[in-house]
Amino acid sequence: MSILSLLRNSAAFSELDDTEMSELAEVASLRSIRKGGLLFLEDDHATGFFVLVSGAVRIYKSAPDGREYTLHRIRPGQMFAEAAIFKGGKYPASCIAVDDSEVAFFPKEAFLSLLKKYPQIALKIMSGLSAWLREFTIKLEALSLKDVPSRLAQYLLQQAEKHNHGRFELHSSKTELAYELGTVIETLSRSLRKLKDSSIIREDGKFIEIIDEDRLKILASGEKA
C-alpha cells in the first residue's frame, strides 16, 4: 500500500484535499520498529513528527524513581510528536513500540516548507486533531486528580462507549494498561479484583463486562461506589 493510501486513514489529515494529501505524502518516509524498540527518548533533538501506520506505540515519561507514566497509547492513524517541531526543538517525552510497528516520518524542514506553500494545511490538521486533544486533556486530568480505582473506572467506561457495548475486549496487556493508568500492575490487579468482588464488573479472560454501570460512574467521578 502506498504512503498516500496509508495517510488517508489518519484522522489528522481527514480534511485535506487530494492535492494537499499528495504533497504531504511526498515528504513522508516509512520506518519500521520492532516491539520494545525506542523511536525517540525524552530530550532527543526533534527532527520531525510521526503518524502511526500499523502496530502500537506508547508515549511515556520516566519519574526519578524509575517508574514510567504513560501519557498516550498511539494507535494506527494517529499523529504524534508534532508539537516538538514547532517549539522547543526537543521531544518532551519518550516513545517505545508496544508491538511491531510501522510509522510515517515527516522531516521538520520539509514539512514546514510545505506549510509555507499550503498554509491551509495547518488549520485543517488542527481541526482533525481536536478530538485527540480532548481525550488527552481528560487523561491528564485523571492522572493528576484521581486515584487508581477512579482512573480504572473511567477507562472502562470509555472502552464501553468506544465499543458501544457493555462487554468488550481489553486489547492492552495488564502491564500496558497499568502504564496507561499511571500505576503498577499490582495496584491495577487489586483495583480490578475489588470491582469484581463488588459485582461492578465481570472479567472473562481478556473480556470485561460492566454489570453495574451506575456504580462504575460514581467511582469514575472520584466518589466511593
Write phi, then psi, for 33 (nearest 5 degrees). -140, 130
CA–CA dist 142, 157 (Å, integer): 13
CA–CA dist 69, 150 (Å, integer): 16
Closest CA to 48 of 91, 10, 101, 16: 91
Say what the pLDDT of residue 16 is: 86
**SS3 (DSSP) at 121:** helix
CA–CA dist 102, 82 (Å, integer): 17
Say what the pLDDT of residue 179 is: 77
pTM: 0.61
Side by side, the strands of the sheet bearing 207-210 are 167-169, 207-210, 201-204
CA–CA dist 37, 34 (Å, integer): 5
What are the residue ranges spanned by the domains of the chain?
Answer: 3-129, 146-220
The topology under which CATH files domain 3-129 is Jelly Rolls (2.60.120)
Closest CA to 49 of 2, 99, 93: 93
Say what the pLDDT of residue 10 is: 79
DSSP state of 85: G
Q: Do 3-129 and 146-220 share a fold?
A: no
| Packed helices 148-163 and 130-145: angle between N→C axes, nearest 10 degrees | 150
- CATH 1.10.10.10 for domain 146-220, yes or no, is yes
Residue 157: CB atoms within 10 A of its CB come to 17
Each residue's pLDDT, cut to its tens digit, for the chain (225 residues) gives: 678 877 877 777 878 888 989 999 999 999 999 999 999 999 999 999 999 998 999 999 988 887 788 888 888 888 899 877 776 688 989 999 999 999 999 999 999 999 999 888 888 887 766 666 666 666 666 556 578 889 899 899 989 988 888 999 887 788 878 877 878 889 999 999 999 999 999 999 889 999 999 999 999 887 665
